[in-house]
Chains A and B, each alone.
Chain A
Amino acid sequence: MIEPAEVERLLMARFGDAQLELVDLTGTQDHYQARIVSSAFSGKSLIEQHQLVYGALGSAMSGAIHALALKTYTPEAWAKTSGASDGRSLT
């Protein structure tokens, strides 16, 4: 288990400019869903983007977090998604 605020802190420490949406899927603080929009992902493959996120979460991924459903976007890619065109904001 890990507090949502702590997950957000770890992510924002690595992706300072990020728009982040974090959901505790089960209410048990160990199954999370994260959507992260950050310029840090620019020029990186999906797998490299996810590896950056896992790197930022570090040891939390090997225990405290059992599952993390992850969606990563560059600001350009996010602008093209339906979520953005709906006018929904991440923040």
Chain B
Amino acid sequence: MDEALRERIKTTIESHRVVLFMKGNKNFPQCGFSAQVIGLLKQNGAEFRDVNILADADLRTGLKEYSNWPTFPQLYVDGQLVGGCDIVTSLNESGELKTLLGAKAS
């Protein structure tokens, strides 16, 4: 991955406290897993930035390498990868998601 792409990914991840890289956008998710994560974020009252990776092939390819994570959606909080749909669902069930989303950036 070239440096410009890596820098662009980093800037995007840090542009908002909570960033969701997804298929489609928050109003029109184009994948059931992305839709599920959006539902959980809304349910927990989170404000988040959505990034449609279907509209950006470089970003889509680059993110997989950047995060060592091959699938979407990918949720980032405070610049850190939290996980995909399964992990976000697990964290919601345990109550950890609310804590994570509510915590202030250190």
Taking Cβ atoms with an 8 Å cutoff, the residues of A that contact B are 46-47, 50-51, 54-55, 61-62, 67-71
Contacts and interface: CB of A to CB of B under 8 A. Distances in A.
B8 interface: no
Which 7 interchain pairs have the tightest Cβ spacing?
A: A61-B70, A47-B83, A70-B86, A46-B87, A54-B70, A51-B68, A62-B70
B30 interface: no
Interface of B: 33, 64, 68-71, 81-87, 90-91
Contacts of B91: 46
Given A47-B81, A50-B87, A62-B64, A67 B69 contact: no
B71 A69 contact: no
Given A46-B83, A47-B82, A54-B69, 17 more contacts: A46-B87, A46-B91, A47-B81, A47-B83, A50-B69, A50-B84, A51-B69, A54-B68, A54-B70, A61-B70, A62-B64, A67-B33, A67-B71, A68-B71, A69-B86, A70-B86, A71-B90
